[in-house]
């Protein structure tokens, strides 16, 4: 007798059956989206516009804000150099 085994994925430290995979993902604009397909989840996360937790989203927002401040400072410095 052949046993049929269902494929699992490793997520958040657990093996989960693909058929039971359901998670929320979060967008920069505060949108929350329920995903019930692992392949769709991977696609959204790899796009860089969706995040698998609010913690990761907040970290990315802080990094983006820090990056913008750095770019503004660099731009002002370049303007001073060009004006000298």
* pLDDT tens digit sequence for 52-67: 999 999 999 999 888 8
Domain assignment present for residue 19? The answer is yes
Domain assignment present for residue 1? The answer is no
Q: Which residues pair with 8 in a beta bridge?
A: 17
Does the global pTM surpass 0.85?
A: no
Exposed/middle/buried for residue 7 (C-beta within 10 Å: 0-12, 13-18, 19+): exposed
Q: What residues make up the domain containing 35?
A: 8-83
Residue for token pair 């505060």: 30
Domain assignment present for residue 71? The answer is yes
pLDDT exceeds 60 at position 6: yes
- Count up the domains in the chain and report the number: 1
Domain assignment present for residue 2? The answer is no
26-44 confidence digits (pLDDT tens): 998 889 999 999 999 999 9
């Amino acid at each position: 007798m052949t046993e049929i085994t269902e494929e699992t994925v490793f997520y958040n430290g657990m093996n989960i059956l693909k058929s039971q995979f359901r998670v929320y993902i979060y967008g920069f604009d505060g949108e929350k989206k329920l995903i019930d397909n692992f392949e769709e989840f991977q696609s959204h996360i790899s796009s860089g516009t969706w995040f698998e937790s609010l913690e990761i989203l907040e970290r990315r927002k802080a990094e983006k804000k820090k990056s913008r401040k750095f770019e503004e400072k660099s731009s002002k410095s370049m303007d001073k150099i060009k004006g000298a």
